[in-house]
Chains A and B, each alone.
Chain A
Amino acid sequence: MPRNDTIGLGELTDSTFYILLALTEPRHGYLIMQFVEELTNGRMQIGPASMYTIIKKLVNASLIEPLDGDGKKKSYIITDIGRALLHEDVKRRQAMVDDARFILEGEGHR
């Protein structure tokens, strides 16, 4: 059932996108949640079960890595592969927004 293994396809889900953004600096799970919530003004709230699932998945795909710490409350940081994928996804999302702008803003001038 790997149908939803979108990481393999290089396309990030919205939650994964924001978690990778948060991990451009070392953070542990709950800090990631808070960071994402503040960054998006509460628009994106990631639940603990989703967060845990995604962290495991990102580690397995080597997009993030755990930092050596004092055991409890493990912190993570984005890897080079993760960063490359994030940049690619930003481009993809930017292209989508550009497309939408082109159409929607064109509408007004017709």
Chain B
Amino acid sequence: MNRKYMASWGLAFAEEREMEKLGRMAAQGWHLEKFAPLGYTLVEGEPADVQYSLDYRKRPDEDYFELFRASGWEHVTSSGDEIHVFKGSPDARPIYSDRETTHEKYAQVEGQMGKVALVLLILWVGLFILLELDWSGLVETGLIMVQLLVTIGLVFTGLPYLGYLVKRKRLDRKG
């Protein structure tokens, strides 16, 4: 079976756009199979008229998936038992039907991302100060390597955090 990779700009920034794109891909016969590093894996099949929706939920129970199934949403794939994608017919009801629970969806991931980003930020500042001191060449190289890793981690949590923050603020404003 043919597969293809679809890149993601990050769920914090492009969730709606990418879910819509997945729907357009399915109409062309390319169906979401699973998450891939920084993107999605699509598998070739019959073109289908479907829509995709994504939810964040840590370790949900069987009732969670049953609720989706019963309301016409088929579970496609999950990432880390926390991010779940569902597929429904174009007339399936939206998985979030009110503002309050939609707000909670983003507030929860925002808080999680924010916590990790904060820890990494403190670590980054700590390393920055450490590097100001005099070290032997070997130790300094080691510290620079660690700082590089922390910087990458900070980018991949800090930016999504800001993305979710902006999204939630926008939702709140819409009222």
A residues within 8 Å of B by Cβ?
1, 3-4, 6, 13-15, 28-30, 33, 45-54, 71-74
Contacts and interface: CB of A to CB of B under 8 A. Distances in A.
For chain B, what secondary structure do more than half of its interface residues adopt (helix, strand, loop), or is it mixed? helix
A47 B96 CA distance: 5
Contacts of B16: none
Contacts of A3: 107
B67 A72 contact: no
A52 B67 contact: yes
A30 B73 CA distance: 13
A45 B67 CA distance: 13
Interface residues of B, number: 29
Given A15-B97, A45-B97, A46-B97, A30 B67 contact: yes
B101 interface: yes
22 contacts: A1-B107, A3-B107, A15-B97, A15-B98, A28-B63, A29-B70, A30-B66, A33-B70, A47-B71, A47-B93, A48-B71, A49-B53, A49-B55, A49-B57, A49-B105, A50-B95, A52-B63, A53-B104, A53-B105, A54-B101, A72-B62, A72-B66
A84 B70 CA distance: 31
B71 A33 contact: yes
Q: Which of A48, A73, A74 has the most CB of B within 10 A?
A: A48
Interface in B54-113: 55, 57, 60, 62-64, 66-68, 70-71, 73, 93-98, 100-105, 107-108, 110-111
Contacts of B102: 50
B32 to A, nearest CB: 18
A29 B96 contact: no
Given A15-B100, A50-B97, 9 more contacts: A4-B107, A13-B100, A15-B98, A48-B68, A48-B73, A48-B95, A50-B98, A50-B102, A72-B66
